[in-house]
Amino acid sequence: MTHLFHRWQALWRPECYHGWGRQRNYFEGWYIKLVSPCERYALAFIPGIAMDADGAQHAFVQRLDGKACQSAYHRFEAEAFRPAKDRFAVEVGENRFSSQGIRLHLPEAAGEIAFEHPTPWPSSWGAPGIMGWYSFVPFMECYHGVVSLHHRLRGELQLYGETVDFTGGIGYMEKDWGRSFPSSWIWMQSNHLSGVEQASLMVSVARIPWLGNHFPGFLAGLLLDGKLYRFTTYNGAQSTVSINEAKREVQLHFQRRGLSLKLHARQEGGTGELAAPVAGAMAGKVNESLQSTFALQLTENGKLRYEGEGRNAGLELAGPVQAELEG
């Protein structure tokens, strides 16, 4: 009953741990992106827990270096994963992760970074986080949460033996939990939009299994100087996807109640390989870039609200995206 109570509480706190009482066929992980103020370093750290179909479990911390196009997978015993019950605060061995910051003790990365002025995705009783009412559907393959769209960084890391000051840099944090990642998806994220001080773009388009069938679901949010523009499957938005896999390019168009968001993104600069969950086991692979770029245009009732470019963008094109997602 205690596990059920904690899982029920977490329904309204997407950032918290949801896996209380789970023993198999389950994963949960947080994606924590850091970009230094000079933009020389763009990193992502992913702490999490994996439980395969047979009940074998382990904890992990993945590291992606988006500029060097390198990654690492640090494996821990399952007992090293220690989540808090009432907030996002997770320990994996000597590593600490929370909404307030991280403390790392990895062979290639050690130190402490504080997060200042986090910007969570708006939440309500009927729509707890970015998934809205889909959060309450019990049979979803994968659930998604945005912990902070934008925050400032303060602190240093010993990175590959060099001291790197991240103070004044920008961070982003999201998470996933469930059984498996979708069979195909597009994911984009950036906090560096030309001419905007406080900005964030997050887009996810995926093949969603549903009652023996499937549909292309999407979540998109654009934060511009404190105002969040939302385009999601459940709020009546429409989407169009066009993919050129040979060139690693994607064009996206979202529309909702007079709002129009157009994106043209290209995966650039090489990728690093990350492990992805399949039936709870970290058996899948996905290549992610943190050097991608995109052009963006937002209009409202035919009037141009913003036009610019994004950089230091995360971009994933995973699975048979052209066959399964292109409209």
Report pTM: 0.97
Give yes or no for a contact between 16 and 10, defined as CB atoms under 8 angstroms apart: yes
Higher pLDDT: 223 or 248? It is 223
Average pLDDT over residues 214-235: 95
Mean pLDDT of 24-44: 98
User: Which of 190, 307, 316 lies closest to 250 in space, CA to CA?
Assistant: 316
The structural domain count of the chain equals 1
pLDDT at residue 1 tops 80: no
Between CA 122 and CA 242 the distance in angstroms is 29
Non-local (6+) Cβ contacts of 227 within 8 A are none
327 pLDDT tier (thresholds 50, 70, 90): low
Distance from C-alpha of 271 to C-alpha of 71, rounded to nearest angstrom: 9
Local confidence band at 9 (pLDDT 50, 70, 90 cut-offs)? confident
Query: Which domain range does residue 181 map to?
Result: 2-325
Closest CA to 160 of 113, 115, 104: 104
| Planar angle of CA 30, 45, 90, nearest 5 degrees | 50
Q: Residue 210: pLDDT band by 50, 70, 90 thresholds? A: confident
Integer Cα distance of 31 and 48 in angstroms: 9
